[in-house]
């Protein structure tokens, strides 16, 4: 077992909410303003070096499956799909940066990196933000900072979040206590698809709740500090479980067996076994690559499985397609 933070931190994400100063906010639903937002953002991010190229995805040009597939990759939020007539996203080709357009705010600039790397993710987000600001000024007030559609984002407009895999804390029924103590620090814990979502696969998102009156660095430090503390707690429980009979191993091997040989599996069952798979890999019980497990977190979700089924007519159901995807990825030789 190692203490590498990526064993527990799946990804780090920084999101900035910005609005153009001269246009009504998105919830007023003015199509001409929405169009202008897309044009401005596209113009600002046009060109750039190969690695920094952005592609535009307009929701109205996409089918529901492709839209959901972007949600499963965490490139856009579920909320953006609520604005499917005007919603769009500029996604950097390496998929580390995406800009949602016409969601709750005109722009939601998001950077995502593997493991515990909020400060680096913030640099990526700010680089994109500075480029976007070259076309038109953002709504900003010297006292209140960046002005957002919802006052809960006013100030920095920044949400720094860590996606953490905390199976042992969940099993030891510690998440209730964790949620309470985290709230006292101005932070919040949610399921992986953000507000109101369940903690499928024992995955949690820790992020700052407060956005006004603190610097971006302070917010990142606070989230990172809590992340480190949760890593430590989870590691203690994992070590304890490893030395405590065969329960941990039994659970991991059973789930691995199901993932390798099942013929149909729904998403909730997959997430439960996925959690055991990742736990088995990170505790050294299974000799499977961590990136395979983390890839499956996206590849074996509903929209991806449905898309796979469409291209493989011999498959009878999404749940069958999911099993084929899982087994292909787990048997693939690592490069």
In terms of CB distance, is 150 or 236 closer to another protein? 150
Q: Give CA 181 to chain center in angstroms.
A: 23
Sheet with 88-92: list strands edge to edge.
54-58, 88-92, 97-101, 107-114, 9-18, 158-165, 203-208, 187-190
The first and second tokens of residue 123, run together, are: 């640099």
| Ranges within 27-46 binding another protein (CB under 8 A) | 27-28
Where does this chain touch another protein (CB under 8 A) — which range of 6-14, 143-151, 193-201, 235-243? 143-151
Dist. CA 286–CA 290, nearest whole Å: 10
Strand partners, 183: none
Distance of closest approach, residue 59 Cβ to another protein, in angstroms = 20
Does 194 engage in binding with another protein (CB under 8 A)? no
Extended strands (E) in 177-295: 187-190, 203-208
**DSSP H helical ranges for 60-193:** 64-72, 78-81, 118-132, 167-171, 175-183
- φ, ψ (nearest 5 deg) of residue 75: -85, -30
The binder of another protein chosen from 7, 161, 211, 276 (CB under 8 A): 211
Does 207 engage in binding with another protein (CB under 8 A)? no
Does 82 engage in binding with another protein (CB under 8 A)? no
The site map against another protein for 103-142 (x = CB under 8 A) is -x---------------------x---x--x---xxxxxx
| Ranges within 224-283 binding another protein (CB under 8 A) | none
Where does this chain touch another protein (CB under 8 A) — which range of 45-53, 57-65, 214-222, 325-333? 214-222
Distance of closest approach, residue 44 Cβ to another protein, in angstroms = 14
Does 152 engage in binding with another protein (CB under 8 A)? yes
| Count of residues that bind another protein according to CB under 8 A | 40
The first and second tokens of residue 272, run together, are: 């439960």
The binder of another protein chosen from 10, 23, 169, 277 (CB under 8 A): 23
User: How far, CA to CA in Å, does 32 sit from each of 29, 82, 86, 108?
Assistant: 9, 18, 10, 19
Does 143 engage in binding with another protein (CB under 8 A)? yes
User: How far, CA to CA in Å, does 278 sit from each of 36, 139, 256, 261?
Assistant: 44, 43, 10, 17
Does 87 engage in binding with another protein (CB under 8 A)? no
- Chain residues in the site for another protein (CB under 8 A): 19, 21-25, 27-28, 104, 126, 130, 133, 137-147, 149-152, 154-156, 158, 186, 210-216, 218
């Amino acid at each position: 077992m190692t203490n590498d933070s990526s064993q527990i931190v799946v990804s780090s994400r920084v999101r900035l909410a910005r609005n153009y100063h001269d246009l009504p906010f998105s919830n007023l639903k003015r199509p001409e303003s929405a169009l202008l937002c897309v044009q401005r953002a596209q113009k600002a991010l046009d060109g750039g070096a190969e690695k920094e190229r952005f592609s535009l995805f307009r929701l109205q040009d996409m089918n529901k499956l492709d839209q959901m597939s972007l949600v499963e990759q965490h490139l856009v939020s579920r909320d953006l799909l609520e604005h499917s007539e005007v919603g769009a996203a500029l996604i950097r080709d390496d998929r580390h940066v995406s800009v949602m357009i016409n969601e709750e705010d005109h722009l939601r600039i998001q950077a995502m990196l593997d493991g515990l790397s909020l400060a680096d993710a913030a640099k990526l987000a700010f680089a994109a933000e500075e480029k976007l600001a070259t076309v038109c000024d953002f709504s900003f007030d010297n006292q209140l900072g960046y002005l957002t559609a919802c006052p809960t984002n006013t100030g920095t407009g920044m949400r720094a979040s860590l996606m953490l895999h905390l199976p042992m804390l969940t099993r030891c029924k510690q998440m209730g206590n964790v949620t309470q103590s985290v709230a006292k620090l101005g932070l919040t814990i949610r399921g992986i698809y953000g507000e109101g979502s369940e903690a499928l696969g024992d995955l949690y998102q820790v992020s700052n709740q407060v956005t006004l009156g603190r610097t971006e660095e302070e917010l990142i430090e606070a989230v990172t500090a809590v992340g480190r503390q949760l890593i430590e707690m989870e590691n203690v429980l994992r070590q304890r479980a490893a030395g405590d009979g065969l329960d941990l191993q039994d659970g991991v091997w059973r789930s691995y067996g199901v993932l390798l040989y099942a013929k149909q599996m729904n998403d909730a069952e997959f997430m439960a076994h996925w959690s055991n798979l990742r736990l088995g890999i990170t505790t050294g019980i299974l000799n499977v690559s961590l990136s395979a497990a983390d890839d499956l977190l996206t590849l074996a979700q509903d929209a991806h499985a449905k898309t796979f089924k469409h291209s493989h007519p011999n498959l009878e159901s999404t749940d069958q397609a999911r099993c084929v995807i899982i087994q292909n990825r787990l048997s693939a030789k690592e490069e």
